[in-house]
Amino acid sequence: MRLVLLGPPGAGKGTQAERLAEDLGVPHISTGDLFRAHVEAGSELGREAQQFMDQGQLVPDRVVNRMVAERLGAQDTAPGFLLDGYPRTLAQGEVLEAELAGRGAPLQAVLRLVVPEEELVRRILARAEQEGRADDTEDVLRKRLAVYHEETEPLEAFYRQRGLLLDVDGIGSVDEITARARERLREVAEA
Ligand code: AMP
């Protein structure tokens, strides 16, 4: 299965992606995690990305696209992949589409986690206390939500037009949401 998980910051993409990827036997590819690993390792890519991440801004498309194309070239993606946090702009969506078309292996579904804004704010501020992520402060959070609306939301129509978009209600317990997502994926597998 070749999937994208779409949703605003705080929607629970990371948690759900990990579970679903394990179910499906495909790697969970989170661009946020890849960037955080680069920052931790002090690589040049990490230094370039960090200035954007700290402000809740998107890392430039060319940097992200290159990193993802490289990651998708690894052997472990033969059975598929679950992308989490990518694409985040229409331009990234177009590059991904071309990249996968070139491999003859297009996306099969885009799961969108739907969560109301006030719930997102509540969750991210709770995560800030637990994990201490540098970009989980209220100012940066507001910025990240604004960036989501402006840059990432247009991808919903992009994927809807292609008949790939599947909505998953992202309110409830982690288990309930996973069960709903599994149900949607079963529909895709059976179609
Ligand atoms: P995340 O963990 O997915 O919330 O990502 C954390 C930060 O990494 C984002 O706020 C961006 O600065 C950067 N980032 C992650 N994925 C992307 C992407 N696809 N495009 C641009 N920036 C990204």
Per-residue model confidence as pLDDT tens digits over 94-133: 999 999 999 999 999 999 999 998 898 888 888 877 877 7
Residue 58 has a pLDDT of 96
Residue 139 has a pLDDT of 83
Residue 189 has a pLDDT of 79
Better-scored residue on pLDDT, 183 or 124: 183
Cα 75 from Cα 69, distance rounded (Å): 13
Better-scored residue on pLDDT, 141 or 155: 155
pLDDT higher than 80, residue 136: no
Cα 159 from Cα 117, distance rounded (Å): 22
Cα 156 from Cα 179, distance rounded (Å): 22
Burial of 187 (0-12, 13-18, 19+ CB in 10 A): exposed
Better-scored residue on pLDDT, 144 or 160: 160
pLDDT tens for residues 36-71? 999 999 999 999 999 999 988 999 999 999 999 999
Q: What mean pLDDT comes out for the span 148-166?
A: 97
pLDDT higher than 90, residue 141: no
Residue 127 bears catalytic tag? yes
Average pLDDT across the chain, whole number: 93
Q: If you measure from the C-alpha of residue 58 to the centroid of ligand 1, how many angstroms do you get, rounded to a whole number?
A: 6
CA distances from 114 to 37, 153, 172 (A): 28, 12, 11
CA angle 134, 14, 129 (to 5 degrees): 35
Cα 27 from Cα 7, distance rounded (Å): 19
**Catalytic residue selected from 2, 112, 144, 180:** 144
Residues enclosing ligand 1, CB less than 6 A? 9, 31-32, 35, 52-53, 56-59, 64, 85-86, 88, 92, 135, 144
Cα 36 from Cα 50, distance rounded (Å): 8
pLDDT higher than 90, residue 160: yes
pLDDT tens for residues 161-176? 999 999 999 999 999 9
Spell out the domains of the chain, with CATH numbers in brackets: 2-30+81-190 (3.40.50.300)
pLDDT higher than 90, residue 134: no
pLDDT higher than 90, residue 140: no
Measure the N-to-C terminal CA separation of the chain; round to a whole number of Å: 13
